[in-house]
Structure 1
Amino acid sequence: MNYKSALKGLLTLNNVSRPWHLPVVAGITIGAPAVLGALTDSFAEAMIASLGSMVFLYMSPTRTTSRMLTMILCTFGFMACLTLATLAASISGLAPVALFVIAFAVIVITRYYRLPPPGSFFFILASCVAMAMPFDIAATPERVGLIAIGGMWSVFMAFIYSLFTGAHKAISDPVQVDERVNAIILEALFLSLCIAGSYGFALWLALSNPYWVPISCAAILQGATFRMVWHRNVHRIVGTVIGMFLASAIFSFHPSALMLALCVCVLQTIVEMLIVKNYGLAVIFITPLTVIMAEITTSGVDATLLLEHRLIDIVLGSVIGFVGGAIFHRSDFFRNLEQRMEQRNRLSELLFTRRDESNKADH
């Protein structure tokens, strides 16, 4: 690796622009449930709805009908992930297995249907957060319902946004799929093993916030190449350290629930502006945002202590993700295995065709 060019890549601002109104609408959409929850003294529950409203980030640059269908399916995916993760958390030792199943399923589906970034990430994040919630079987329907409400709110906002931006006039593109099924399955198996393994390792270490380890691992493994994995690793660790100071500054003022809800709106808007420019800059604002959404509302622990714990979890998860990404991208093992699987498939198809021709000849 050319370290000079790699360092330059870390600091480069990508020449990618978004309409100014898209990040603003995303911030309002994701933050609105939090604001409503703060005004009605149900801030913790509203954070679950805000998590569901992150379906808005899956709004594809296609025709309105395609956007709606994709987001509705993603909402059902969020609901299924939350349900399975919540039920798995009730049995000791089952959570990593359930996370493996969830990660494998969402990676296969999102890769096969070429779902653009954030891809499988938020499905895994929602599952990890659900596993960290205090288990209450009676509260499961309510939590799933809140996810559904957040998702439907995002679909509604995306529909209004699409009407104003003229997406209904766009040319409808045919659905594209990735037909390299063997490669997708191998990738999903390995990445799911890394993500679930990182969670199991965090549980074995008895970390206070173990679910941030698989979340960070999944974020690093989102990189399509080894260089992207390396960049994400450095960006996530350095960005989190800087973001910790920003989060500490926010919580030093002992903000009310309403102020935290407004912070969600502002931080999400900034993240959406920066995520396409430089991942490291976006992580600086992702850090306080995720602490508000996933930690403060369900814990009475001091915010500074939470941030210190989270840094340890993120470094550990990032290192595991980096090692997994290095193995996957720098090794020929998976490419060779994929070629062998394809050869066996072609041989099976050939044998099946000859058998079919032989049966027809007999008749």
Structure 2
Amino acid sequence: MNHLQEFFSLRPAQRDHIPAFRIAVGVALPLLLLMAIGRLDLAIYAAFGAFTGIYARNESPRSRFLRQSLAGGILTLSVAIGAVLSALAAGPWAVMLVATVVSAFGAVAAARYNLKPAGSIFFIFATAAVGSIEGGAPVWLATLVAFLSAGVSVVLGMGAHLIGERPLPRAVPMVTERFSRRDLVEHGLRFTVAPLVAGTLGILSMELVPQLSHPYWAMVAAVAPIAPPHRKARFFRAVHRIVGTSGGVLVSAFLLSFPTEPWQLVVWVILSQFLGELYVGRNYSLALLFITPVALLMTQIGHPTDPGPLLLARTVETAIGALVGLAVVAWGFPHEYRPRLFRRAGAMGRRLVDRRRPR
């Protein structure tokens, strides 16, 4: 299969609708409750807590409970840190630096305890997005909402085996990757450098072009390509990120082009979450057509803004971050490239020696 065909191919389905349904319900229950009590201004905190359900798909009940509990704890802590930044009215530079630290520690924890999806994309997103809110909820309330929402996802995960979610049969048994201390340090450094550089460029672009906003989207896009285990997968994750997000922005523009009530945005978020999870393991670009609207509509539910600059910012900042991620992918894994370089150098040396030998 050539590179272009990968954008139009779908991997075989593996009962993806079951975890997708569970995750969507985990998002729906907190949002519908907040809508019922008239507190959709808290929706963003609930949504980040609900992202707990994304972790530990198709794992055993015990493994899912342990890993979702850990992921939910980190997500709740990320929201709490962001809420503190919001309460302090921290500027974009402070938010970026704190979110970078969260990214590093979150990525190391995810690698150490084999959380899937890997990396720190949701942790950095929660910290930076909540930290960028002006006049947000009190710290205790934001943390409580995220904690309770995460708890709902964990409870749903505990009963997921009742609807058929279980470990997938594999031709080759999955081996849990073991990281040495050096591996974890290098891993943390990659998840520090990428968001730090991308966040810096995002803030500078915002200062140069006033229409731009949300520099943390560059940070999120920068860490997305680093998580996959192989170089080719990392490269294509960055390209898929740009292509899929651009398409997702168009989908979001269509949805936001109509006069909408808050309840309609909630419905779109729930449906988009389900569709995104349905395809995320089969075609990342296709999944981003639905994942991108989730992020954009989520910010519009409780804190509506003019969608035009929002959509522009999402496109530009994602491109900046993905390019930074590509740079980290190209130069941030030297231990993977050294053996290949040594083999090539050895082959060139042997050819030179062979040419100089008398015949």
Matched, 1:99 2:99: yes
CA offsets, 1:326-361, max 9 Å, x none?
Answer: 1124x459969xxxxxxxxxxxxxxxxxxxxxxxxx
CA offsets, 1:161-219, max 9 Å, x none?
Answer: 23443869xxxx9x956142212211211221211221133223334111111011112
In structure 1, give the amino acid aligned to 2:145. L
Distance 1:60 1:54, change over 3 A: same
Distance 1:231 1:166, change over 3 A: closer
Kindly indicate whether the alpha-carbon contact (under 8 Å) linking 1:34 and 1:261 is maintained by their aligned counterparts in 2: yes
Q: In terms of mean alpha carbon deviation, does 209-218 or 237-246 score higher?
A: 237-246
Partner of 2:234: 229
Distance 1:235 1:164, change over 3 A: closer
- The percentage of aligned residue pairs carrying the same residue is 21
User: 5 Å matches for 1:329-340?
Assistant: 329=333, 331-332=334-335
Q: Distance in 2 between matches of 1:325 and 1:117?
A: 18
The structure 1 segments of at least 4 consecutive aligned residues displaced by more than 4 Å after TM superposition are 332-336
Kindly indicate whether the alpha-carbon contact (under 8 Å) linking 1:62 and 1:167 is maintained by their aligned counterparts in 2: yes
Q: Distance in 2 between matches of 1:298 and 1:197?
A: 30
Kindly indicate whether the alpha-carbon contact (under 8 Å) linking 1:113 and 1:177 is maintained by their aligned counterparts in 2: no
Partner of 1:53: 50
Q: Distance in 1 between matches of 2:56 and 2:247?
A: 30
Kindly indicate whether the alpha-carbon contact (under 8 Å) linking 1:57 and 1:118 is maintained by their aligned counterparts in 2: no
Kindly indicate whether the alpha-carbon contact (under 8 Å) linking 2:16 and 2:277 is maintained by their aligned counterparts in 1: no
Partner of 1:76: 73
Q: Distance in 1 between matches of 2:311 and 2:46?
A: 23
In structure 1, give the amino acid aligned to 2:11. N
Corresponding pairs, count: 327
Q: In terms of mean alpha carbon deviation, does 93-102 or 67-76 score higher?
A: 93-102
Q: Distance in 1 between matches of 2:258 and 2:44?
A: 21
| The one of 21, 31, 36 aligned to 1:34 | 31
User: 5 Å matches for 1:118-137?
Assistant: 118-134=118-134
Cα distance, 1:135 vs structure 2? 5.5
Distance 1:221 1:167, change over 3 A: closer
Q: Distance in 1 between matches of 2:58 and 2:22?
A: 15
In structure 2, give the amino acid aligned to 1:278. N
TM-score of the two chains, using structure 2 as the length reference: 0.82
Partner of 1:347: none
Q: Distance in 1 between matches of 2:310 and 2:335?
A: 40
| The one of 289, 294, 303 aligned to 1:289 | 294
Q: In terms of mean alpha carbon deviation, does 264-273 or 5-14 score higher?
A: 5-14
CA offsets, 1:107-131, max 9 Å, x none?
Answer: 1111122222244321122112122
Q: Distance in 1 between matches of 2:246 and 2:323?
A: 15
User: 5 Å matches for 1:1-12?
Assistant: 5-12=2-9
Corresponding residue SS for 2:332:
helix
Matched, 1:87 2:92: no
RMSD: 2.8
CA offsets, 1:113-163, max 9 Å, x none?
Answer: 222224432112211212211265x71111111110110111121123234
Kindly indicate whether the alpha-carbon contact (under 8 Å) linking 2:71 and 2:115 is maintained by their aligned counterparts in 1: no
Q: Distance in 2 between matches of 1:324 and 1:211?
A: 17
Cα distance, 1:307 vs structure 2? 0.7
Cα distance, 1:239 vs structure 2? 1.6
Q: Distance in 2 between matches of 1:223 and 1:183?
A: 15
In structure 1, give the amino acid aligned to 2:2. S
Partner of 1:142: 141
Q: Distance in 1 between matches of 2:336 and 2:115?
A: 26
Partner of 2:191: 191
Q: Distance in 1 between matches of 2:312 and 2:165?
A: 46
Q: Distance in 1 between matches of 2:185 and 2:336?
A: 14
Partner of 1:350: none
The gaps in structure 2 that reach 5 residues or longer are 168-172, 340-359
| The one of 318, 322, 327 aligned to 1:318 | 322
Matched, 1:303 2:302: no
Matched, 1:165 2:169: no
Corresponding residue SS for 1:11:
coil
